[in-house]
Structure 1
Amino acid sequence: MPVEHPDPLAFKAWLRSEALSSGFALAGFAPCDPFATEADRLQTWFRDGGGALLPYLDPGTLLDPRALWPQARTALVGFFPYARPEAVPGAAPGSLKLSRYLWGPDYHAVLKPRLARLMEAAQARWPGLEGRVCVDTAPLLERQLAARAGLGWQGKHTLLIAGKDGSWGFLGALLLSVDLPPDEPFTAEHCGSCTACLDACPSEALAPFRLDPARCLTTYTIETEAEPPAPVARALAASRWAAGCDACQEACPWNRAPLWGEPGLWGGPSPLHTRAAADLPRGAAQWRKLTRRTALRRVRDRHWRATLARILGS
């Protein structure tokens, strides 16, 4: 006897509703076809050394979701806001700046279980359905996939801008093994002639729709322990961004009245955000304690100390 599956349109509507109920502010559906229009730009970026400090990136895998997971047919992409109006990096007297996405628990530990539960519920409704949860660590062009799913466009700072809802959001994807009707893709960008994000970048790492990781502060405070070039080291000291950097998003007009994250999750108090720079932890044990269950745990204490030394000059 053949297995009966729900109507694809009804199943899609149910999935979207469940995703929104689980905390995603926006959710859209996109086909998992290769990103043919991104091939030339991505190949040029790699050829110019864009991936030199990010060795885990591979253009072949990035350009095709099915290279990551061959069964992928449809992607449910969600936008999960995280910023809080009260959580402003550097606002505490004498403090350094840590990117807003680092304020609160590790976002992987928040988003992955929610998507996994959604997958389990979907499998109960659609027998034989397979899926894969992707939150940031998989080699997937999540921003392009989100644009394909109709959530927004990739701004000049290269981040996804969800229209008036802004760019302060994590992206999570659930790759599904069935074909579902896709949403209307976002094919136009609405940055216009604005260059606020480019002008705000402390290390001049941004060109329109292009990021140079070799000049980005986040690269040297989060991704690699490599010694930054002298101009980047000077920008670190001047800007006081000790982990990540939000300068481009702070300057973006689309973030004037964005979607804000849940108060119970993001923007909670931590000595890392409120202590004066001179009082920040420099010992391994202190660092492990303060970064426990946060996205900063991936940064080693020696890396943190090196960043502090570059900023504080000691």
Structure 2
Amino acid sequence: MPVEHSDPLAFKTWLRTEALSAGFARVGFAGCDPFLAEEARLGTWFKEGRGTLLPYLDPATLLDPQALWPQARTALVGFFPYARPEATPGAAPGSLKLSRYLWGPDYHMILKPRLARLLEAAQAQWPGLEGRVCVDTAPLLERQLAARAGLGWQGKHTLLIAGKDGSWGFLGVLLLSIELPPDKPFGTQQCGTCTACLEVCPSGALEPFRLDPSRCLTTYTIETEAEPPPEVAAALAASRWAAGCDACQEACPWNRAPIWGDPALWGGPSPLHTRSAGELPRGAAQWRKLTRRTALRRVRDRHWRATLARILGE
């Protein structure tokens, strides 16, 4: 039934209901004002060269959603759970570890169409509405936006913790061209004195609320083919994380009983998670077949082979 176009609150309620029915576990709304409180911290992070291996990041755009999309007035932010109890990296005898977010189909292929359908339905309800779908490929401070929308807080491991629902979740954002009543920001973080995530980081890439990509295993197994520093290469070999790294999330107390992803949505395990290290694919054709329609497809087979060589000491 159509929503009354002149009632932003009713429209917001309708949008939240539709987003929840699309599979998001939590949905919040935030204004698109610049993140002025983040300016100094982000500026220091870039001046220290932390973004060198992530050249696609632009601090000016990151700090202002309207720099990304000038029409943005409201952001709908959704938390989409992806982990499953039975999906445990390294559980199979002799296997290497691949981050849980890589176990199913490419999440962009799931979240973007769902948000696009939500936008299309919203435009039918509110003529003239414009929107833009963002799923971690746009220069947007999604975690800060999620905290602003009341979904949770950014933990000491820098990931969003959605309260008792944990941190095993993707963030999807739908920028809208109309102003809707914002939700109450989450407020202060709830990590307290806990340092479990910092202590367990295999390469020492974490400080409280701060990540150094030049020391992060994920940087060298997913983001760049650059040669890792010797100490990071040693951490790769010792931890056996071949793609991504979940160590900090595995240690987080908020993930003791998280909300789990839908097994029917994510499907069964790939041979990449069940084979021993010696049986993992080395050829380009086999790699393309196993990674088809997954988030691992962005990793070239030569990059994969280089990671295997570092881990297995070849």
Asked if Structure 1 and Structure 2 have the same fold, meaning a TM-score greater than 0.5 normalized by the shorter chain, the answer is yes
Partners of 1:180 and 1:65 in 2: CA distance: 16
The one-letter code matched in structure 2 to 1:38 is: E
C-alpha displacement at 1:5, in angstroms?
A: 2.0
Percent identity between the two aligned chains: 85
C-alpha displacement at 1:267, in angstroms?
A: 5.9
1:7 aligns with 2:7: yes
**Which residue in 2 is equivalent to 1:247?**
247
C-alpha displacement at 1:264, in angstroms?
A: 1.2
C-alpha displacement at 1:269, in angstroms?
A: 1.4
**Which residue in 1 is equivalent to 2:182?**
182
Partners of 1:269 and 1:170 in 2: CA distance: 19
The one-character-per-residue Cα deviations of 1:200-252 (angstroms, maximum 9, x if unpaired) are: 10000000000000000000000000000000000000000000000000000
**Which residue in 2 is equivalent to 1:136?**
136
**Which residue in 2 is equivalent to 1:219?**
219
What TM-score do you get using the length of structure 1 for normalisation? 0.98
**Which residue in 1 is equivalent to 2:30?**
30
Gaps of 5+ in 1: none
**Which residue in 1 is equivalent to 2:198?**
198
Q: Where do residues 287-306 of structure 1 align in structure 2 (5 Å cutoff)?
A: 287-306=287-306
Partners of 1:94 and 1:134 in 2: CA distance: 38
Gaps of 5+ in 2: none
CA contact (8 A) 2:81 2:259 kept: yes
Matched position secondary structure for 1:105: coil
**Which residue in 1 is equivalent to 2:52?**
52
CA contact (8 A) 2:5 2:11 kept: no
RMSD: 0.7
CA contact (8 A) 2:96 2:276 kept: yes
Q: Where do residues 234-273 of structure 1 align in structure 2 (5 Å cutoff)?
A: 234-266=234-266, 268-273=268-273
CA contact (8 A) 1:83 1:168 kept: yes
CA contact (8 A) 1:221 1:307 kept: yes
The one-character-per-residue Cα deviations of 1:101-146 (angstroms, maximum 9, x if unpaired) are: 0001000000000000000000000000000000010000000000
Q: Where do residues 228-239 of structure 1 align in structure 2 (5 Å cutoff)?
A: 228-239=228-239
Partners of 2:36 and 2:202 in 1: CA distance: 33
1:92 aligns with 2:92: yes
**Which residue in 1 is equivalent to 2:286?**
286
CA contact (8 A) 2:99 2:243 kept: yes
Partners of 2:269 and 2:201 in 1: CA distance: 27
What TM-score do you get using the length of structure 2 for normalisation? 0.98
- Paired residue total: 311
